[in-house]
Chains A and B, each alone.
Chain A
Amino acid sequence: DSGVTQTPKHLITATGQRVTLRCSPRSGDLSVYWYQQSLDQGLQFLIQYYNGEERAKGNILERFSAQQFPDLHSELNLSSLELGDSALYFCASSVAPQLVTGELFFGEGSRLTVL
């Protein structure tokens, strides 16, 4: 158990809809990362927050947004969903704003299916 909690585990929705994925980092971790995992693209970095502030942005679509709240939990909002957004979405956390040893603690993921 990594200590990172993600909800929901599974989500099925229709094209054009909007969903919110939630993540609680490990106790004491201030950084939260979001990754998208698909079969053909592997693990793609979306965005990072540190202590409530956006710190780094990766391949995140404009239809997607995220935030980190004062209690350090984070939410990833996906809107105007398309079939291609179906994927596993992982949240990961770390203590510091910048990784030194490359160790991220991942949750078990939220599997999104867009029909």
Chain B
Amino acid sequence: QQQVKQSPQSLIVQKGGIPIINCAYENTAFDYFPWYQQFPGKGPALLIAIRPDVSEKKEGRFTISFNKSAKQFSLHIMDSQPGDSATYFCAALGGSQGNLIFGKGTKLSVKP
């Protein structure tokens, strides 16, 4: 049972483009929504996170948009660079055990 659905599975954009990665959840007990970035050969690392009482959060070129009523959230990368090429995972924290549940990931490739 997948509790966090992420799309697309892969994404290719040109340098300077704005890739958008979408996630949806079902469990209303989730109370924190982080995004992780994973480079090849490395473990995932926290990129940015948002609480459900906030509709948008920006950190540098990365923005999370959150729609609580639709139970959806998304990651936007402004002015994307080849160095942003990585796999991005959305996640949800909470539920009965308070675990971090990950989406299946989006492999982003930014072409120069």
Contact = CB atoms under 8 A, between A and B. Distances in A.
Given A102-B34, A102-B93, A45 B46 contact: no
B100 to A, nearest CB: 6
A108 B41 contact: yes
B91 interface: yes
Interface string A73-103: 0000000000000000010100000111111
B73 to A, nearest CB: 13
Interface string A96-114: 0011111111111100000
B43 A109 contact: yes
B99 A92 contact: no
Nearest to A43: B102
Interface of B, helix, strand, loop or mixed by DSSP? strand
Interface string B65-100: 000000000000000000000000101010001111
B104 interface: yes
- Chain A contact-residue range equals 20 to 34
B44 interface: yes
Contact of B104 (A41, A100, A108): A41
Interface in B23-46: 32-34, 41-46
Interface in A29-67: 33, 35, 40-45, 48, 56, 58
Given A101-B32, A102-B100, A42 B46 contact: no
Interface of B: 6, 32-34, 41-46, 49, 89, 91, 93, 97-105
